[in-house]
Chain A
Amino acid sequence: MKGTNLGEFEELLMLMVANLYPDAYGVAIREAMKLQANRSVAMGAVHVGLSRLEEKGYLTSSLAEATHERGGRRKRLFSITTSGKNVLEENMELRNQLWSTVPELTWKNIQFG
């Protein structure tokens, strides 16, 4: 395991889960991924990502009611845990801090092409 590091895709997944609460489950997350992040990923990738995050303790899940179009199967709803929230915040803070310390000159001297 990579310890507490979040991959870019994992972070995206967690933010999706946070946004979709309380209806964050596989299909909804993938659709949101496609619409908002314009990323078309396979269902398998979404599920594996979610399960890994659950194993790391950043997400928790429970089974919800079944619906007709799911062939009478229940869906698994994900939500963020406290440590999940913490790691997201850490990530954000780190980024904010790095952004704030970038010298002005960096942006002025960007070479195009």
Chain B
Amino acid sequence: MDKQAQVPPRWGERLLQWFCAEDRVEEILGDLDEYYFLYTEQYPEWRAKGYYTYHVLSYLRLYNWKKRQNSNNWSMFRNYLLIAWRSIIKNPGYAAINIIGLAVGIAFSTLMYIYVSNELSYDSFHSKSDRLYRIITVDKRVPDDVRQYGQIVPPVGPALVEDYPEVVGQIRLYQPNGQVVFDINGEKHQEREWFITHNDFFKYFDFEFLYGDAQTAFTSPKSMVITEKAAQKYFGHKDLVGEVLETGGYGPVTITGVLRDLPENSHLKFSMLFSDVDTNESWADYLNNWQSFGAYTYILLDENSNISDLNNKMADFGERYMGPMAQVMSIEYQAIRDIYLDSEQIEAGINEKTGEIHYIYIFGSLGIFILLIASINYINLATAKATFRAKEIGVRKSIGAARGQLAIQFVTESFVVTGLGYLIATGILVAVLPYFNAMADTSFAVDGQSLMIYLLPLTAIAVTIALLSGTYPALYLSKQKAADTLKGEVVSGKSSAGLRKGLVVFQFVLTIVMILSTIVISRQLNYVNNKALGFNEERLLVIDINSRNVRAQFQTMKNELATIPGVDAVGVSSRVPMEWKNIREVFMKSDYSQLAPNDSIKSYLMGFDEGMMETFKFDMAEGSYFGSNSANDSTRIILNEAAVEALKLTDPIGARVSVLGGRGSYNGQVIGVIKDFNFQSLHQKISPLIIGAWNNPASMIDYFTLKVNGDIARVIDAAAAVHDRFDLNSPMEYHFLDQQMDKNYEAEQRAGLIFKLGAALSILVACLGLFGLASFTIQKKSKELGVRKVLGAGDGQLFVLLSSSFAKQVGVAFLIATPIGYYVTDQWLSAFEYHINPGVGTFVLSGLIAAFIALVTISYRAYKAVHSNPIDSLKYE
């Protein structure tokens, strides 16, 4: 812990020195300092600050209030507050518009602030996070397709520690198998989020222990640590230290620690960690072998070194251990705090959930926009109202108020209004957080102490908005000449009317962009969910093959699965289209191709059996599919149209194609061409794909897929019964393909929801403002309307008169919003290879919606004004 961190924030000291009576302040601040010191030793800095804030605020009560000498300022201030309150009471409608708008704005932008700052805070809770780096592999074997992996060759870590003194230590996480299976009270379970690692893990990463101890958790062989959540799930209680887990692969393992639930903002997610102390022989082989691959490796750098110095020293590192291989395979370092947001290009990473920086920009701007809109409402209504306050300003000025004092008065008013909005916003925030959590898949705590932490940004936002919206009206109102206002000359406010129009246009621009984006997002997500993929994806039950025994007897098991009532067809394959795991990549070349000799094309490869056709209902373009005589089929291949095109085969049927890479290269003969279907998410283009037979030399079967046509629950039970007879170790692991497919678009779905919420709220707030402004202008024009009506103007004409200026503003806003909206939506859509093309219609539609909303908003007031009796407005003079 460095010295810096122990000094509490200065503002607390200043605030209390100003607030509290002198004779108490010393002991109070002393106690607070001491507490802060205690907290920084127990908690991360941000939490210590939160608690500190909580305690500081707890002193702000009247009992501690310092008796002040200068009472005149205070009574003046009280008068400002009183006037502010009266003006709220006098115009409850305007006040409500402002307060509700501000409350919604403050609440929503605080939500966005919490969300964005959480996204930006990933992995910063580790006290050593500025010195922790992940090692990634850079693969340059194909020069124009450089790839990065989150995994590396396992012995690299220790070699770095050995060779470079600035590397203090390293941590490897690895998984010899995809899942660990274990037995609790006779019931089989399996867990996929598990790793084997070293004791130093807990030294470098600050995961908190609920039970057990970080120092000793992994010091004895056969020990493991489990998370609170997994403990609850598998055991039903949490205090598991000392209990023994019967695992399938590693025998009995003792639980030595239970971790508190992993922080939301950790890129590392796991349920179980096993100690590598007992050095299982096969693990040791794997870890020391420069030919193996797959360990996730982190290094801790010395305090006084930096990563670029280390990089500079490492020119010969790869050569030393890997020889010529180092030419094409190298390593790079990635700061641990960058992993979450900057791993889009990195394959096989440990983090399934990555953040996207452009969503952070979007949500950040959304938060700011809604605040701007609410502020604009305040500015517009306050300057418009100036007319009615003119006399007050005149009187104040003539009895000696300086301009500054008046300005302070009006700023005070904006603080009062914002303050009320702020109180409501706090309530909204508390009420809404649980729903937001569910919607955004976050877990922001809603208990008292966490709220104290949110209170700081909430307050900051409220103060900003109060200043933002209070300053201009204050300057504008205090500028008026006393004589004019008292003579009864109404403040004309030409400049302020222009400003109001400008601001309304600005609000409409934002509104139209948001309406447009909402339409585009919904249509795209709809498109993604409904696009024809080239096969029938409904009611497909995918069962993982997790055992050698199943693989060996798959034909028998498949036959048994097929006899289950309600199962229409069963296919066996190495990968499943639209699936979520890495698909094997190979290279293909052919003498039949029109390409330059020896030119090879990258392609994906999957192995299918004959049942896949009936299960997925693919379409063939030409040739035939695999038959039931599998011995002949093993080297036969089927290409998709993209592969035929990439290889430039004029007459594909019968062509010989070499399949290079994979588990074993082979020469295949093309027997058919399958129509292109989407086998990856719609973010990606349909790439060349080779479909080999199930028994092709390059891949291995991994899945059964069942086409279900009946009671799904019953089919699952029956399938599990079949499965358990063939696989004695692990429980059946199954998914529904359509649900897995939805996961591809989860980020977009979530973002879409948040965005829609933000858009709806901004539009609501903008409408409130427009309603207020319209009521005001109409009120000011009531005499004009009366005169016109007396002179014979019709209702329709008057209505047009009232709404035309708003219509013009919407028009101008539409012109400005269109290019902005085009740019924004185009950016978002470009993340999808397959996307809709929003035509002119979409843009016009969003403009029309905005115009319609505006019209509806003002028409209530306009209608009332038009239908009022002219006598009412004309009889007073």
A residues whose Cβ falls under 8 Å from a Cβ of B: 25-27, 42-45, 47-48, 51-52, 63, 66-67, 69-71, 73-76
Contacts and interface: CB of A to CB of B under 8 A. Distances in A.
A71 B33 contact: yes
B560 interface: no
Contact of A42 (B7, B58, B63, B64): B58
B396 interface: no
Interface in B40-83: 54-55, 57-61, 63-64
Nearest to B41: A69
Given A51-B63, A69-B37, A44 B30 contact: no
Interface in B496-536: none
B31 A44 contact: no
Interface string B197-208: 000000000000
B35 A44 contact: no
Contacts of A76: 27
A66 B63 contact: no
B24 A70 contact: no
Given A43-B28, A47-B24, 17 more contacts: A26-B31, A42-B54, A42-B58, A43-B32, A43-B58, A44-B59, A45-B58, A47-B27, A47-B59, A48-B63, A52-B63, A63-B27, A67-B34, A70-B30, A71-B30, A73-B30, A74-B26
Contacts of A71: 7, 29-30, 33
Contacts of B33: 69-71, 73
Nearest to A76: B27
A70 B28 contact: no
Contacts of B54: 42
The 3 closest A-B pairs by CB, nearest first: A44-B58, A42-B58, A73-B30
A73 B26 contact: yes
B503 to A, nearest CB: 42
A66 B30 contact: yes
A26 B27 CA distance: 8
B347 to A, nearest CB: 48
A75 B34 CA distance: 10
A43 B29 CA distance: 11
B694 to A, nearest CB: 63
Q: Which of B33, B54, B60, B61 has the most CB of A within 10 A?
A: B33
A75 B30 contact: yes
B25 to A, nearest CB: 9
B58 A27 contact: no
A74 B30 contact: yes
20 contacts: A25-B27, A26-B27, A26-B28, A26-B31, A27-B34, A27-B38, A43-B58, A43-B59, A44-B57, A44-B58, A44-B59, A63-B26, A67-B34, A69-B34, A69-B37, A71-B7, A71-B29, A71-B33, A73-B27, A74-B26
A69 to B, nearest CB: 4
A70 B37 CA distance: 8
A25 B28 CA distance: 10
Contact of B61 (A44, A69, A70, A75): A44
A70 B58 contact: no
Contact of B31 (A27, A45, A51): A27
Nearest to A44: B58
Nearest to A41: B58
B10 to A, nearest CB: 11
Q: Which of A70, A75, A76 has the most CB of B within 10 A?
A: A70
A61 to B, nearest CB: 9
Contacts of B57: 42, 44
A90 to B, nearest CB: 26
Interface in B379-437: none
A70 B34 contact: yes
Contact of A43 (B7, B26, B35, B37): B35
Nearest to A68: B37
Given A47-B24, A63-B27, A42 B34 contact: no
B27 A75 contact: yes
A102 to B, nearest CB: 37
Contacts of A47: 24, 27-28, 31, 59, 64
Contacts of B34: 27, 67, 69-70
Nearest to B6: A69
